[in-house]
Amino acid sequence: MTGSDEITHFDVVIVGGGAAGLTLALSLPKHLSVAMLMKDEPLESSTYYAQGGVAAVWAQDDTVDEHIADTLIAGAGLCHEEAVRFTVEHSREAIEFLLAQGVKFTLDENSDDLHLTQEGGHSRRRIAHVADATGRAVATTLLERVRECQNVTLLDHMVAIDVITTNSLAQHFDAPFTEPNRAVGVYVLDTKAHRVLTLSAGFVALACGGVSKAYLYTSNPDIATGDGIAMAWRAGCRVANLEFNQFHPTCLYHPEARSFLLTEALRGEGAYLRLPPCDHHPEGERFMLRFDSRGELAPRDIVALTIDFEMKRLGLRHVYLDITHKDPEFVKAHFPTLYARLLEFGIDITQDQIPVVPAAHYTCGGVVVNQQGQTDVLNLYALGETSFTGLHGANRMASNSLLECFVYAMSAATHIRDSHAHAAPSVPMIPTWHIQDNTDQDEAVILLQNWDELRHTMWHYVGIVRSNKRLHRALNRILLLKQEMQDYYDSFALNKNLIELRNLLLVSELIVRCALRRHESRGLHYNRDFPQSLPTPADVVLTPAVPSAV
Active-site residue list? 300
Count CB-CB contacts under 10 A for residue 314: 11
Is 79 within 8 Å of 390 (Cβ atoms)?
yes
Give Cα separations from 151 to 216, 409, 427 (angstroms): 40, 17, 20
Report the alpha-carbon angle 365-163-15, nearest 5: 65
512 CB-near residues (< 8 Å, 6+ apart): 462, 471, 474, 475, 478
CA dihedral over 247, 249, 255, 256, signed as positive or negative:
negative
Q: Cα(375)–Cα(308) distance, rounded to whole angstroms?
A: 36
Is 272 within 8 Å of 286 (Cβ atoms)?
yes
Helix (H, G, I), strand (E, B) or coil at 416: helix
What spatial distance separates the first Cα and last Cα of the chain, rounded to whole Å?
17
Q: Cα(415)–Cα(28) distance, rounded to whole angstroms?
A: 10
330: left (phi over 0), alpha (psi -120 to 50) or beta: alpha
Q: Cα(385)–Cα(253) distance, rounded to whole angstroms?
A: 25
Taking each helix axis as running N to C, give the angle between helix 19-27 and helix 400-422, from 0 to 180 degrees, rounded to the nearest 10.
30
Count CB-CB contacts under 10 A for residue 4: 16
Amino acid occupying residue 226: G
Is 125 within 8 Å of 116 (Cβ atoms)?
yes
Q: Cα(488)–Cα(475) distance, rounded to whole angstroms?
A: 20
Give Cα separations from 409 to 11, 67, 432 (angstroms): 16, 21, 30
Count CB-CB contacts under 10 A for residue 285: 18
Alpha-helical segments (H) within 344-399: none
Q: Cα(166)–Cα(182) distance, rounded to whole angstroms?
A: 6
Pick from 341, 328, 256: which is nearest to 49 by CA?
341
DSSP 280: S
Is 462 within 8 Å of 509 (Cβ atoms)?
no
Phi (first) and psi of residue 269, to 5 degrees: -95, 10
Q: Cα(233)–Cα(242) distance, rounded to whole angstroms?
A: 12
Amino acid occupying residue 316: L
